[in-house]
Amino acid sequence: MNDKTILEGLFRQHYGKMIHLARTLLHDDAEAQDVVQDVFARLLENDYQMTGSKTEAYLMSAVRNRCMNLIRKMQLRERFKHLHPLDEADESHPIEDVLAKLEQINAIVDAHIEEPHKTIFRLRFDEELTFQEIATRLDISIGTVYKYLRQCISRIKSFI
């Protein structure tokens, strides 16, 4: 927007409705204010020309879309936390305990895991290669790399 007075006018005219929509969707005043401010910041940064009867519809859609994106991010974070909970007890273990666990896993791999599972395990975790890199190096499919690695990890877990 070339004229900041136009943006100020839009802000004064539509802020109440925009913040109400954001609060209704997010149930959080601070997040709602951030969303509305982001919408106006984008208008200012991208030099949008807002005129006509569709201005309110555009602004309300922008707020709704931003809110929905934020809700999706929050839901994704919650699902991730649920699937991968942080075990606070594990975080309090001294480094010696972690190193001992790694040595135990290495001993299990050396003693109980057969080829090509052992090679795939070593390439993935020792050399930190991607599945694609392992597949290319061993001339096998990515699906096979995944399957062998999954089998190897299951076998290791059965010994721990």
Q: How many other C-beta atoms are found inside a 10 Å radius of the C-beta of residue 134?
A: 24
| Model-wide pTM > 0.85 | no
| pLDDT by position in tens, the chain (length 160) | 446 777 788 888 889 999 999 999 988 898 999 999 988 888 877 766 666 778 889 899 999 999 998 888 888 777 777 666 655 545 566 788 888 888 999 899 999 999 999 999 999 988 888 889 999 999 999 889 999 999 998 999 998 8
- Domain tally for the chain? 2
Residue 82 is predicted with a pLDDT of 67
Same domain, 71 and 93: no
96: CATH: 1.10.10.10
Residue from 100, 119, 101 nearest 110 by CA: 119
Say how far apart CA 107 and CA 78 lie, in whole Å.
Answer: 36
Q: Are residues 79 and 8 in the same domain?
A: yes
CATH code of residue 34: 1.10.1740
Tokens matching residue 146: 């995944």
Q: Do residue 25 and residue 57 come from a single domain?
A: yes
- The whole domain housing 43 covers 4-83
pLDDT value of residue 93 = 64
Between CA 43 and CA 51 the distance in angstroms is 12
